[in-house]
Structure 1
Amino acid sequence: MSTFTQEIDAQGLAVLTWNDPNGPVNSLAQSAVLALGKAIDDLLANDAVKGIVLTSGKADFVVGANLKEIQTMPQNAETVLNFVRSLHAITRRMEQGGKPIVAAMNGTALGGGMEVALACHHRIAADNPKAVFGFPEVNLGLLPGGGGTQRLARMLGIQAAMPWLLQATQAKAKEAQAAGFINAVVPAEQLISAAKEWLLANPAACVQPWDEKKFKLPNGEVQSAKVAQVFMGAEAMLRQKGMGNYRAPQLILQALYEGCQVPFDASLEIEARYFTELLLSDQAKAMIRTFFVALQDANKLKNRPQGVDKKQFQKIGILGAGMMGAGIAYAAAISGMQVVLLDSTQTAADKGKAYSDELLKKRVARGKMTAEKATITLAHILPTTDFKDLKGCELVIEAVFEERTIKAEVTARAEAVLADDAIFASNTSTLPITGLAEASKRPAQFIGLHFFSPVDKMPLVEIILGQQTNQQTLAWALDFVQQIKKTPITVNDSRGFYTSRVFKTYVLEGMALLQEGVAPALIENAGKLAGMPVGPLTLSDEVSLELMDRIGRQTQQDLGAAYVPHPGDAVVQTMVHELKRIGKKAGVGFYTYPTEPGAKKTLWTGLAEHFPVATQQPDVETVKQRLLYAQAVEALHCRAEGVITRAHEMDIGSIFGWGFAAHTGGVISFIETIEGLASFIANADALAERCGNRFRIPESVRDMAAAGRSFY
Structure 2
Amino acid sequence: MAIHYERDDEGIVTLTMDMSGSANVMNAEYQQAMGAAVTRLEAERDEIAGVVLTSAKKTFFAGGDLKLLIGITRENAAEALGFVEEVKGQLRRLELLGRPVVAAIGGSALGGGLEIALACHHRVVLDDDRIRLGLPEVTLGLLPGGGGVTRLVRLLGPQAALPLLMEGKQLRPARAVRAGFAHELASSREELIAKARAWIKDNPQPRQPWDVKGHTVPGMRFGDPGVYSTLSAAPAVLRKKTHGVFPAPEKILAAAVEGALVDFDTALKIEARYFLELATGQVAKNMIGTFWFQLNEIEAGGSRPSGVDRTAVTRVGVLGAGMMGSGIAEVSAKAGVEVVLKDVTLEAARRGAGDTPGITPTDSYADLAGCDLVVEAVFENRELKNEVLAAAESAALPGAVIASNTSTLPITGLANAVTDPSRFVGLHFFSPVPKMRLVEIIRGEKTSDETLARAFDYARRIGKTPIVVNDGRGFYTSRTFGTYVTEAVSMVAEGVPPALIENVARRAGMAVGPLAVSDEVTLTLQLEIRDQTLADDPDATGALGGHPAFAVLEELVAEGRTGRSGGGGFYEYPEGGEKFLWPGLARYAREDAGVTERDVEDRLLFIQSLETVRCLDEGVLTSVGDANVGSVLGFGFAPWSGGTAQFINSYGLGEFVQRADYLADTYGERFRPPASLRERAASGEHF
Matched, 1:525 2:497: no
Alignment of 1:254-653 (within 5 A): 254-354=254-354, 357=355, 360=356, 378=357, 380-563=358-541, 564-565=543-544, 566-577=547-558, 579-595=559-575, 597=576, 599-609=577-587, 611-615=588-592, 617-653=594-630
Which residue number corresponds to residue 32 of structure 1?
30
Q: What SS is found at the alignment partner of 1:230?
A: helix
Out of 662, 665, 673, the position equivalent to 2:639 is 662
Which residue number corresponds to residue 141 of structure 1?
141
Cα deviation code 1:235-256 (max 9, x no counterpart):
1221111111110111111112
Once residues 215 and 701 of structure 1 are traced to their aligned partners in structure 2, the CA distance between those partners, rounded to angstroms, is: 59
- With over 3 angstroms needed to count, the CA separation of the structure-2 counterparts of 1:704 and 1:222, relative to structure 1, is farther
613-622 vs 450-459, which deviates more? 613-622
- With over 3 angstroms needed to count, the CA separation of the structure-2 counterparts of 1:113 and 1:223, relative to structure 1, is farther
- Please tell me whether the aligned partners of residues 159 and 230 of structure 1 are also in contact (alpha carbons under 8 angstroms): no
- Please tell me whether the aligned partners of residues 505 and 513 of structure 2 are also in contact (alpha carbons under 8 angstroms): yes
420-429 vs 170-179, which deviates more? 170-179
- Please tell me whether the aligned partners of residues 44 and 99 of structure 1 are also in contact (alpha carbons under 8 angstroms): no
Once residues 187 and 5 of structure 2 are traced to their aligned partners in structure 1, the CA distance between those partners, rounded to angstroms, is: 23
Q: Which runs of 5+ in 1 are unaligned?
A: 361-377
* TM-superposed deviation, 1:233: 2.7
- Root-mean-square deviation (CA), in Å? 1.6
* TM-superposed deviation, 1:620: 2.0
Aligned residue pairs total 681
* TM-superposed deviation, 1:625: 1.3
- With over 3 angstroms needed to count, the CA separation of the structure-2 counterparts of 1:64 and 1:221, relative to structure 1, is farther
User: Which AA in structure 2 matches 1:201?
Assistant: D
- Please tell me whether the aligned partners of residues 433 and 493 of structure 1 are also in contact (alpha carbons under 8 angstroms): yes
- Please tell me whether the aligned partners of residues 653 and 680 of structure 2 are also in contact (alpha carbons under 8 angstroms): no
Cα deviation code 1:541-600 (max 9, x no counterpart):
1110011111111112211133312331211111112x22111111121112223x2x22
Which residue number corresponds to residue 691 of structure 1?
667
Once residues 521 and 555 of structure 1 are traced to their aligned partners in structure 2, the CA distance between those partners, rounded to angstroms, is: 30
Q: What TM-score, normalized by structure 1, do the two folds share?
A: 0.93
Cα deviation code 1:28-68 (max 9, x no counterpart):
23212321221222233224222101011222211211213
* TM-superposed deviation, 1:222: 6.6
- Please tell me whether the aligned partners of residues 287 and 665 of structure 1 are also in contact (alpha carbons under 8 angstroms): yes
Q: Which runs of 5+ in 2 are unaligned?
A: none
Once residues 70 and 534 of structure 1 are traced to their aligned partners in structure 2, the CA distance between those partners, rounded to angstroms, is: 31
- Please tell me whether the aligned partners of residues 326 and 352 of structure 1 are also in contact (alpha carbons under 8 angstroms): yes
Once residues 476 and 706 of structure 1 are traced to their aligned partners in structure 2, the CA distance between those partners, rounded to angstroms, is: 41
* TM-superposed deviation, 1:279: 0.9
Q: What SS is found at the alignment partner of 1:124?
A: strand
- Please tell me whether the aligned partners of residues 19 and 29 of structure 2 are also in contact (alpha carbons under 8 angstroms): no
Once residues 173 and 446 of structure 1 are traced to their aligned partners in structure 2, the CA distance between those partners, rounded to angstroms, is: 43
Which residue number corresponds to residue 653 of structure 2?
677
User: Which AA in structure 1 matches 2:395?
Assistant: V
* TM-superposed deviation, 1:163: 0.9
Once residues 221 and 340 of structure 1 are traced to their aligned partners in structure 2, the CA distance between those partners, rounded to angstroms, is: 59
Q: What SS is found at the alignment partner of 1:490?
A: strand
Which residue number corresponds to residue 364 of structure 1?
none
Q: What SS is found at the alignment partner of 1:606?
A: helix
- Please tell me whether the aligned partners of residues 222 and 261 of structure 1 are also in contact (alpha carbons under 8 angstroms): no
Once residues 320 and 256 of structure 1 are traced to their aligned partners in structure 2, the CA distance between those partners, rounded to angstroms, is: 50
Which residue number corresponds to residue 199 of structure 2?
198
Q: What SS is found at the alignment partner of 1:97?
A: coil
438-447 vs 414-423, which deviates more? 414-423
- Please tell me whether the aligned partners of residues 321 and 349 of structure 2 are also in contact (alpha carbons under 8 angstroms): yes
Once residues 83 and 108 of structure 2 are traced to their aligned partners in structure 1, the CA distance between those partners, rounded to angstroms, is: 24
Structure 1 segments (4+ residues) deviating >6 Å: none
User: Which AA in structure 1 matches 2:539?
Assistant: A
Once residues 48 and 28 of structure 2 are traced to their aligned partners in structure 1, the CA distance between those partners, rounded to angstroms, is: 26
* TM-superposed deviation, 1:467: 0.7
Once residues 594 and 262 of structure 1 are traced to their aligned partners in structure 2, the CA distance between those partners, rounded to angstroms, is: 49
Matched, 1:90 2:65: no
Cα deviation code 1:627-683 (max 9, x no counterpart):
11111111111111111121111011111111111111111111111x111111111
416-425 vs 483-492, which deviates more? 416-425
- Please tell me whether the aligned partners of residues 158 and 227 of structure 1 are also in contact (alpha carbons under 8 angstroms): no
Once residues 221 and 61 of structure 2 are traced to their aligned partners in structure 1, the CA distance between those partners, rounded to angstroms, is: 32
Percent identical among aligned pairs is 46
Which residue number corresponds to residue 686 of structure 2?
710
- Please tell me whether the aligned partners of residues 76 and 280 of structure 1 are also in contact (alpha carbons under 8 angstroms): no
Once residues 493 and 130 of structure 1 are traced to their aligned partners in structure 2, the CA distance between those partners, rounded to angstroms, is: 37
Which residue number corresponds to residue 7 of structure 1?
6
User: Which AA in structure 2 matches 1:574?
Assistant: E
Which residue number corresponds to residue 77 of structure 2?
77
Out of 667, 681, 700, the position equivalent to 2:676 is 700
Q: What TM-score, normalized by structure 2, do the two folds share?
A: 0.96
